[in-house]
């Protein structure tokens, strides 16, 4: 019986790009019209700290419009940008389930929260990996990146949100090796991942 060889895929992370709509603020290029996996990062010590990995089967800019609305509606966590750029997670607003149960608090603090949202979105540096749209590949890569970040020492493990709904490799799926390539330092993202 012949042994199955492990498949290795190279993933090139391009960026940094601007969050859509903030190109004039941060002087970064617009996100290209691609789909795949993306990283939301903050500048940190001559590199970037990853806040979140995400995926989309549609153009990334369309997905980011949805994210923008959720940030501005208080549905997502909002961080203090200056602290995040120093490797410290300090929430200005806690979104998700808390936000649904505390709409009055959000409305009372809305001006401060929205100012922090605008700073965070302008401060995000987006990296993209244009990958063939195979849903399980995208899901497995996203899940493995988030798991890997959470296993790193501080500050890498402190910046990302916890509790994302992720879909890592299933027991019946063959492992794949991902070689991460980037011209910049993406802290906490190893050059090799098994997904």
pLDDT digits (tens, 9 = 90+) for 133-169: 677 888 999 999 999 999 999 999 999 998 778 777 8
Contact criterion met (CB below 8 Å) for 151 and 113: no
| Tokens standing for residue 87 | 């490797």
pLDDT tens per residue across span 178-194:
999 999 999 999 999 98
Average predicted confidence (pLDDT) for the chain: 91
CA–chain centroid gap for 82, Å, is 18
Q: Where are the domains of the chain?
A: 7-194
What global pTM score does this model have? 0.91
Beta strand segments in the chain, E: 7-17, 36-44, 47-56, 78-79, 91-93, 125-130, 176-182, 186-187, 192-194
- Residue written as tokens 């890569």? 141
């Amino acid at each position: 019986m012949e042994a199955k060889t492990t498949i290795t895929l190279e993933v090139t992370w391009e960026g940094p790009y601007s969050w859509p709509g903030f190109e004039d603020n941060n002087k970064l290029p617009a996100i290209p019209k691609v789909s795949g996996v993306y990283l939301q990062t903050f500048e940190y010590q001559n590199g970037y700290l990853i806040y979140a990995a995400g995926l989309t089967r549609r153009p990334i800019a369309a997905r980011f419009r949805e994210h923008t609305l959720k940030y501005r509606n208080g549905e997502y966590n909002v961080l203090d940008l200056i602290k995040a750029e120093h490797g410290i997670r300090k929430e200005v607003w806690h979104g998700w389930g808390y936000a649904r149960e505390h709409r009055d608090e959000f409305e009372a603090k809305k001006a401060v929260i929205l100012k922090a949202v605008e700073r965070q979105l302008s401060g995000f540096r987006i990296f993209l990996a244009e990958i063939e749209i195979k849903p399980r590949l995208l899901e497995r890569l996203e899940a493995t990146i988030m798991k890997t970040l959470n296993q790193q020492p501080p500050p890498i493990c402190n910046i990302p949100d916890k509790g994302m709904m992720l879909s890592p490799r299933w027991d019946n799926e063959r492992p794949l090796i991902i070689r991460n390539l980037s011209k910049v330092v993406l802290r906490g993202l190893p050059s090799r991942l098994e997904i």
